[in-house]
Amino acid sequence: MEPSPEEAGCDRARLRSDAERNRARIIEAARTVYRREGLSASMASIARAAGVGIATLFRRFPTASDLVAAVFEDAMEANRKAALAAREEPCAWDGFRAYVETVCALQADNRGFAEVLAMSFGTAKGMERARQEAFEAFTELVARAKAEGRLQPDFVGEDLPILLMANAGVLAVAGDAAPEASRRLVGQMIRGFAVGPAEALAPAPPPQRLLRGMVRQRRTAG
C-alpha cells in the first residue's frame, strides 16, 4: 500500500530532521576532537565521537576539508567582520590592536583556528572569500598604522601567524589559566609591535593558578 501524500511528506520531514541532527552532532564532535587531537584527527575518530557510521559522516562531509570548513565557518566569518571593522577605525593603530586581540581570542575559543587561516578550501568558496577579505583588510590596516608612525616599520604580515603559533602553545599547556595567560602574551606582543609609549598589560595569572592549570592539562592530555 502506497503511503498517502501526507504520510510521505511527514517521512521526508523526519528524514530531513534526522539529517540535520546528525550534521549538528558531527560538527560538535569534530570541534571536540579537533581541540584534543588537532586538525589531523581522522574522520573515523570523529564518526565514533559523534556516534554515527563513517558512511553517514562522508555523506554529509565528503572530505576532511569540508568538515573543517563547517566547524570553523562561524569563526572565519567573525574574523572577517573583525578585520573589516578594524580597517574602518579612524586610528589605524587602534584598529590594528583590536583586530590582533580579536583574532587571538577567536583562536582561544576555536583551537586550530590558526591552522584554518593557512588552509585552502577549494570547495568552500565562502570560507575562501572570508579569509581573503580579512587578509586584504589587515594588509591595508598594517600600511596605515605604519604611516601613522605607531607600528614598527619592520612589522610584516607573517608576524601575525607567528603570534598565533605562540598563542597556540600557551593555550595548549596553560590549562585553566589559558585565557589569562593568552591575554598577557598578546599584550606583550602588541607592545613589541608598537612605536611610542608602552600600553598597560592584562594581569598575568598567579603562579599557583598557572601551575595548577598546567598540571591539570597534562593529566587530561595523558
Q: What is the pLDDT of residues 165-209, one digit of tens each?
A: 899 888 888 888 888 899 999 999 999 999 987 677 777 777 776
How many residues are present in the chain? Answer: 222
Instruction: Please count the CA atoms within 13 angstroms of the CA of 118 that sit on its side-chain side.
Output: 11
Q: CB neighbours of 220 closer than 8 A, spacing ≥ 6?
A: 175
Instruction: Encode pLDDT of 7-53 as tens digits.
Output: 445 445 555 667 788 889 999 999 989 887 888 899 999 999 999 99
Question: What CATH number is given for 1-62 in this structure?
Answer: 1.10.357.10
pLDDT tens-digit readout, 118-153? 777 766 788 888 988 999 999 999 999 999 999 999
Q: For residue 185, with 0-12 CB atoms within 10 Å meaning exposed, 13-18 middle and 19 or more buried, which class applies?
A: buried
* CA of residue 111 relative to chain centroid, distance: 6
Q: What is the CATH number of domain 72-221?
A: 1.10.357
Alpha-carbon gap, residue 126 to 122, rounded angstroms: 10
Q: Does 98 have pLDDT greater than 80?
A: yes
Distances (CA, A) of 16 to 9, 11, 13, 21, 25: 11, 9, 5, 9, 14
51-78 pLDDT per residue, tens: 999 999 998 999 888 899 899 999 999 9
CA distance 72 to 68: 6
Residues of each domain in the chain carrying CATH 1.10.357.10: 1-62
